[in-house]
Chains A and B, each alone.
Chain A
Amino acid sequence: MKQKSVAVVGAAETTKMGKIPDVSVIGLHADAALNAMADAGLKPTDIDGVACAGISPVELAQYLGITPTYADGTSVGGCSFMLHVRHAAAAINEGLCNTVLITHGESGRSRVGVGGFGRAASSLMGQFEMPYGVTAPPTMFTIPVLRYMKTYGVTEEDLANVAVIQREWAAKNPRASYKDPITVDDVLNSDMIAWPFRKLMCCLVTDGGGALILTSAERAKDFPQKPVYVLGTGESVETPMVSQMEDFTSSKAFRVSGKKAFDEAGISHADVDHLMIYDAFAHLPLYGLEDLGFCKPGEAKHFINERNTAIGGKLPLNTNGGGLSYMHSGMYGMYALQESVRQMRGIAPAQVDGAKISVCHGVGGMFAASGTVIFSNEA
């Protein structure tokens, strides 16, 4: 894509977050969408492009009263929204539409209006993974990690420290689900979920949503909020079955998506002021730091243990507290994007002073897919 040709002009999360038993899935999409439209000073009839995952863009358009000339139903898991941003940028540049609304809503905890979930027994996953007792992500996303730990000498304490430092960030965010400080011992003494993963190494299960509105950089100047420009983007997919990842110590989708985004943005790692790495589990920031090229293979644990990603560190990471402490409704990528936009607007509760470039990196499925968006707040 062309650098800074498209900007975020509206961004918002749902009015409430955490436990929302009185709103259905599509209601969460709509609540976030209405908040983002209010943020941008728009109404549904001003929107001519829609994108969402979890529900169909057809449902979203009809529910909000939008008549789109562009619809994107890309659904590759929690990073779908990074791909939506990327596709929206291309669509706006190509003239397919002018103003794209991207929404997310998920009743992960309360399960109101949730569709069926499950794998057909005839799918490859149904045939070659489900029979062995995998359940939800805690028993799938975690499977490669022992190999990573053995290869690089990573310990359970190292994994625990990821959660500890993110909780420090969460404490600065009033909307975070968990704000009380935790220690490495607290993490290692929390309930065993799927060895070596303890409860505090796993993401939350909450309700919520979020929405973004994008338009051309040219038009963005006329909106009420400070535009946040899209500097570079990347995406890739690898495998629907975690057991078939090429390398258990590194995500191919991460590497491909990250490199593409950095190449498009024309920046080096030293240019990055703020970083979001989708953390469904404590190992994700480790893989992300290495696969995006911020650290050499095996060195992310040192980078985190030396507090480079903590408050006051040189690379603030997951400043909302992440999926481990802020919120995680199921497809967390939207909340990572929201935090990047807040940081670029300069309004984040844990604002990184003077931040000009934010990298937002998402994962979908169990290392199945990836999307990366690099934002800039300078035209």
Chain B
Amino acid sequence: MPPRILPEPTPETQHFWDGTRNGELLLQRCKETGEAYFPPRPFAPKTGSRNVEVFKASGRATLHSYVINHRPRPDMGTEPYAIAVVQLEEGPRMMTNIVGCPQTPEALVLDMPLEVVFEKMSDTITLPFFQPAKG
């Protein structure tokens, strides 16, 4: 199996990938409106304000939508897997994989509660995944 395709951080996104490596899901928000946003950038979309801050997200989310890919990418193995978008508690949505449960329509129910988990993929990259919430 070829090595998994991994992100290459840029100066604007490095803090996010440093965060996942440390077991934290970091988002940003506009300090003027308080609105959280993703993916990372050094200003707030819409307002254009550079007055922003990084903060640690709760890691809680719900399952917003997904597909189950039946033609796996070579670096993803041979079994069908879900590619999901989760609704983070703080407002933004992000793409991810759902782990710790079968990759089936029966197990993956829209709006089910999820929580973030981190999986180290290389010395520099840890990916944030989500699993069914335990509590």
Contacts and interface: CB of A to CB of B under 8 A. Distances in A.
Contacts of A142: 67
B69 A194 contact: yes
User: Size range of the interface on B?
Assistant: 35 or more
Interface in B78-135: 80-81, 83-85, 93-97, 105, 110, 121, 125, 127
B2 interface: no
B71 A128 contact: no
A201 to B, nearest CB: 12
Contact of B97 (A133, A145, A150, A241): A133
B93 A195 contact: no
B8 A121 contact: yes
Interface residues of A, number: 34
A148 to B, nearest CB: 8
A15 interface: no
Interface string B50-77: 0000000000000011111111110010
Majority SS at the chain A contact face: mixed
B48 interface: no
A128 B7 contact: yes
B68 A194 contact: yes
Contacts of A128: 7, 38-39, 94-95
A127 B7 contact: yes
Given A128-B39, A143-B85, A243-B95, A194 B71 contact: yes
B95 A146 contact: no
Residue from A143, A150, A195, A241 having most chain B Cβ neighbours under 10 A:
A195
Contacts of B38: 128, 244
B6 A131 contact: yes
B10 interface: yes
Contacts of B9: 122, 127
B7 A130 contact: yes
A132 B7 contact: no
Given A147-B110, A243-B93, A131 B7 contact: yes
B13 interface: yes
B83 A132 contact: yes
Contacts of B83: 132-134, 139, 143, 194
B93 A244 contact: yes
A133 B103 CA distance: 14
Given A128-B94, A248-B65, A195 B70 contact: yes
B7 A147 contact: no
Contact of A196 (B7, B67, B96, B97): B67
Given A120-B8, A244-B39, A135 B69 contact: yes
A299 interface: no
Contacts of A248: 64-65, 85
A144 interface: yes
A132 B70 contact: no
A129 B13 CA distance: 14
B31 interface: no
Nearest to B74: A135
B69 A147 contact: no
A372 to B, nearest CB: 25
Nearest to B68: A195
B129 to A, nearest CB: 9
Contact of B5 (A124, A131, A145, A194): A131
A41 to B, nearest CB: 47
Given A133-B83, A195-B70, A243-B93, A146 B5 contact: no
Given A131-B7, A143-B83, A194-B71, 15 more contacts: A120-B8, A122-B7, A127-B8, A127-B9, A128-B39, A132-B127, A135-B73, A138-B71, A139-B69, A139-B83, A143-B67, A144-B65, A147-B64, A192-B70, A241-B95
Interface of B: 4-10, 13, 17, 38-39, 64-73, 76, 80-81, 83-85, 93-97, 105, 110, 121, 125, 127
21 contacts: A120-B8, A124-B39, A126-B8, A127-B13, A128-B7, A128-B95, A129-B95, A131-B4, A131-B127, A132-B84, A132-B96, A134-B73, A138-B71, A143-B95, A150-B110, A191-B70, A197-B67, A243-B85, A243-B95, A244-B93, A248-B85
